[in-house]
Amino acid sequence: MLEAAARLAADFDVYAELCLEEYMACAVGGCAGCTVEAHTPDGVAMKRGPGVRPLFIGLISGTSMDGVDAALMDCSSTEPLLVATNRASYPNDLAGRLRAAAQSQGECALREVAALDAAVASCFAEAALALLRNAGRSPEQVEAIGSHGQTLWHAPEGLPPHTVQVGSPARIAAFVRA
């Protein structure tokens, strides 16, 4: 299992390096008008070139557990550009449940952690979609979404060190791309 994970990580590193080289060549005009199409390890096409605007969304929430901050970045040149930002508050009941889970010192029921994972992902996805709407952009223009999630438990001194974040990245991606 660890060998397979190491191979996958190595393959992804090679893929990411190739994508960066292709992207940078196009971003600085080295592609002479072409549209480069690369593929993620799971086969999803990603286009780069003139007229293609690589947009990235960043999502983060803090220890106050009151909502999500979202940023839309345009990385089509060597200087990233902040396109838009958005702040979305958690519903009061969700904020309360998150605080209760965090204050449980790691003793929160697994069922509640799973429910919070889904609920936070929904809030993050809604924040991303609102960000895109406000910026006049569509999900199809987004290359990737980075999400920190919401920390419920952090034990860097634990044996082994561990942490728990909720806000399923797969669920966020599915909601935003739907």
pLDDT tens digits, one per residue of 62-76: 888 999 999 999 988
b/e per residue, 65-102, with b = 16+ CB within 10 A? bbbbbbbbbbbbeeeeeebbebebebeeebbebbeebb
Beta-strand ranges (E) seen in the chain are 36-39, 45-48, 55-60, 67-74, 81-89, 142-147, 150-155, 162-166
pLDDT tens digits, one per residue of 41-62: 555 555 555 555 689 999 999 8
Confidence of residue 79 (pLDDT cuts 50, 70, 90): confident
- The rounded Cα 110 to chain-centroid distance in angstroms is 24
Give the Cα separation of 63 and 161 in Å (integer).
19
pLDDT of residue 77: 79
Instruction: Kindly list the domain boundaries of the chain, sorted by start residue.
Output: 1-52, 53-177
Token digits of residue 55:
């947009």
pLDDT of residue 46: 54
Q: Are 49 and 34 in contact (CB under 8 A)?
A: yes
Give the Cα separation of 113 and 73 in Å (integer).
31
Query: For the whole model, what pTM was predicted?
Result: 0.70
pLDDT tens digits, one per residue of 124-176: 999 999 999 999 999 999 999 999 999 999 889 989 998 899 999 999 999 99
> What CATH architecture is 53-177?
2-Layer Sandwich (3.30)
pLDDT tens digits, one per residue of 5-36: 444 444 444 444 444 454 444 444 444 444 45
39, β-bridge pairs: 45
